[in-house]
Amino acid sequence: MDRKALMESVQAQMSSRRWYHTEGVMSTAADLVKRYGGDPEQAELAVILHDVAKQWPVEKMAEAIREEGEYLEVLDHDKELWHAYAGAYAARRDYGITDPQVLDAIRFHTSGRPGMSHLEKIVWLADLIEPGRSFPLVSDIRELAEQSLEKAILAGLDTTILFLIEKGKRIYPLTLLARNNLILKEAEA
Amino acid sequence: MDRKALMESVQAQMSSRRWYHTEGVMSTAADLVKRYGGDPEQAELAVILHDVAKQWPVEKMAEAIREEGEYLEVLDHDKELWHAYAGAYAARRDYGITDPQVLDAIRFHTSGRPGMSHLEKIVWLADLIEPGRSFPLVSDIRELAEQSLEKAILAGLDTTILFLIEKGKRIYPLTLLARNNLILKEAEA
């Protein structure tokens, strides 16, 4: 499937607002690749597909995660996380993506994880700060993103955790481990 | 060793300020047991010993944790957590405590953990809110402690996590899992 057909097929599975978000992430990820390096085509592919399952019915997401079989623990956590794991499944099964780096960048684009690859970092951060986002600290994180990928992600993870605490919601352990891991690496650097 | 001799022996291993804290925890734990039930003697024993290793040299704490061998991962985390694990070791080896509930209450009195026992909850909370404590939200948590052990602990865990985020420090995974577990149980209740 060429780029245009892929984009049309993904776009057909979501609202125009959600697709508009994906376009924002594409542009931000391209900027981050220019600044920090990486393969622009690989990043673009992961970004086009990152939210492909976002508007699937919840039961369809759960089925995809169960069929993958490897990340079942996410089913015990917030449904907000499911679309990323279901998205990796869709990328592989429906779009024939085999590049494990692209699949992981889709899979961990919401939760994060310790030891994220460069591509995973680009997609995670671009998703958080694309121009359509408007949460309280987004401008601070955008500024940090011009200095350091890792510092910006750390600030983003902090914001995510603070938000969940404020809402009294559980925090996905991988998200915490992602934060711990970045702090440790920054301290070692 | 009788109660008096135990208290003197523990007191001898710490500053008067630290022992004053332990006395505060004893009184708060006794109040919590009156309100929420539990064995007052078991709680008192755990409290007397909870900080026995607090002022040990760091290397002595590390050695105790290595000798216990079961909780080595704590050595990769903040030294503030070590005294609790070293304290459980001291309670068993130096004071002949064999009650696993008392040892766990000492061991997890700082980190917390998912599925804390009633005794662990009493000691964890009493340690946080004893009269000598004076962090910003302590009076709110003291009020909550008159309504619900679990709600007070949850607020305490939130405060701990927020403090660590503010300081840019890593969060011990058990602390997060303790919080997630309480939220899940409150939702099921």
Parse chain B into domains and list their residue ranges. 3-134
| Residue A188 C-alpha, separation from nearest chain B C-alpha, in angstroms | 13
Q: How far A8 CA sits from the closest chain B CA (Å)?
A: 40
Closest Cβ opposite residue B168 in set A170, A176, A183: A183
Q: What is the pLDDT of residues B5-49, one digit of tens each?
A: 999 999 999 999 999 999 999 999 999 999 999 999 999 999 999
Angle between helices A16-36 and A118-129 in degrees, nearest 10: 130
Q: Cα(A163)–Cα(A99) distance, rounded to whole angstroms?
A: 33
Mean residue pLDDT across chain B: 96
User: Which of B158, B168, B176 has the CB atom closest to A176's CB atom?
Assistant: B176
pLDDT digits 0-9 by tens, B51-94: 999 999 999 999 999 999 999 999 999 999 999 999 999 999 99
> What's this model's pTM, rounded to 2 decimal places?
0.91
pLDDT of amino acid A189: 82
Residue contact B161–A165, C-beta within 8 A = yes
- The 3-state DSSP composition of chain B as helix, strand, coil percent (nearest 5) reads 70, 0, 30
- B contacts of A184 (beta carbons < 8 Å): 170
Which band of pLDDT confidence, cut at 50, 70 and 90, is reported for residue A107?
very high
Work out the average pLDDT over A120-126. 98
Contact assignment for B169 to A179 by CB distance below 8 Å? no
Please give the span between the terminal C-alpha atoms of chain A, in angstroms, as a whole number.
42
- The DSSP code for B51 is T
Please name the member of B161, B170, B184 whose beta carbon is closest to the beta carbon of A184: B170
Of A169, A180, A159, give the one whose Cα is nearest residue A81.
A169
**Is the pLDDT reported for residue A186 higher than 90?**
no
Do the Cβ atoms of B180 and A170 come within 8 Å? yes
Contact B179 A170 (CB under 8 A): yes
Residue A109 C-alpha from the chain's centroid:
2
Chain B interface includes A57 (CB < 8 A): no
Are B84 and B11 in contact by the 8 Å Cβ rule? The answer is: no
ipTM score: 0.87
CA dihedral A156, A158, A161, A164 (to 10 degrees): -70
Q: With a cut of 90, say whether residue A61 has pLDDT above it.
A: yes
Rounded CA-CA distance A43/A125 in Å is: 12
CATH 1.10.645.10 assigned to A3-134? no
Query: Are A135 and A105 spatial neighbours (Cβ–Cβ below 8 Å)?
Result: no
Indicate the residue of B165, B173, B184 with minimum beta-carbon distance to A170: B184
